[in-house]
Amino acid sequence: QKEVEQDPGPLSVPEGAIVSLNCTYSNSAFQYFMWYRQYSRKGPELLMYTYSSGNKEDGRFTAQVDKSSKYISLFIRDSQPSDSATYLCAMSTNSGYSTLTFGKGTMLLVSP
Amino acid sequence: DVKVTQSSRYLVKRTGEKVFLECVQDMDHENMFWYRQDPGLGLRLIYFSYDVKMKEKGDIPEGYSVSREKKERFSLILESASTNQTSMYLCASMFPGTSGRSINTGELFFGEGSRLTVL
């Protein structure tokens, strides 16, 4: 079983739709959870960052972490064509010397 | 704003050539990383560095080496390029800067990438 699983998509939605992007993971030691957005031919940029369980909201974006199910989600409300990108989940542990573990990314296409 | 600059956006090299990929960050971050990104394989960590002259192997270090002579600069070196090293290479630095070996808070800033083609 891979450490972080993420459906590669593509996920195609019409403008204005609510989008749900998800990752599952196997390592219960993960404590930090992130979502990165990557536009075509660009480097990833941090979109949302949460520590441990719970929800975090930032404008149209909501990140949700359910550690009991080892499942994280990113919700995008009122999706826009400018949201078309690849979304990568990432996570790390809280033990002294660890790097990020990334999902492979989900490609999202929002059509006008 | 944090800026991570990769010196070359696109490179074409021949098999066996030595290749240098340069990365500079302007926020005094102690931790820097090199990843490669391939379709279907996602981001894979090649090497990282938590201090000047320090380096640690990532998940796929074979065929690569790195150099960190100054805090702001982290170079990736392909000693003898091969066709299977054709890829997008991404450099990153981590916020906030930390001392020592604890680098686990996870907020990475990426450069725009260097797309390398080896013929």
Question: Hey, are the CB atoms on A92 and B108 less than 8 Å from each other?
Answer: no
B43 touches chain A (CB under 8 A): yes
- Which of A41, A43, A90 lies at the smallest CB-CB distance from B106? A90
Q: Which residues of A100-111 are buried (b: 16+ CB within 10 A; e: fewer)?
A: bbbbbbbbbebe
| A contact test, residue of B47, B51, B102, B108 with most A CBs within 10 A | B108
Question: Which residues lie below 8 Å from residue A84, measured CB to CB, with a gap of 6+?
Answer: A108, A109, A110
Mind telling me how many Å the CA of A34 is from chain B's nearest CA? Answer: 8
**For A32-79, how does the pLDDT look when each residue is reduced to its tens digit (9 = 90+)?**
899 999 999 999 998 988 888 889 999 999 999 999 999 999 999 999
B41 touches chain A (CB under 8 A): yes
Question: Which residues lie below 8 Å from residue A42, measured CB to CB, with a gap of 6+?
Answer: B112, B113
**For A1-40, how does the pLDDT look when each residue is reduced to its tens digit (9 = 90+)?**
568 999 988 999 999 999 999 999 999 988 889 999 999 9
Each of the 119 residues of chain B gets a pLDDT tens digit; together they read: 668 999 889 999 999 999 999 999 998 888 899 999 999 899 999 999 988 888 999 999 999 999 999 999 999 999 999 999 999 999 999 865 444 444 455 578 899 999 999 99
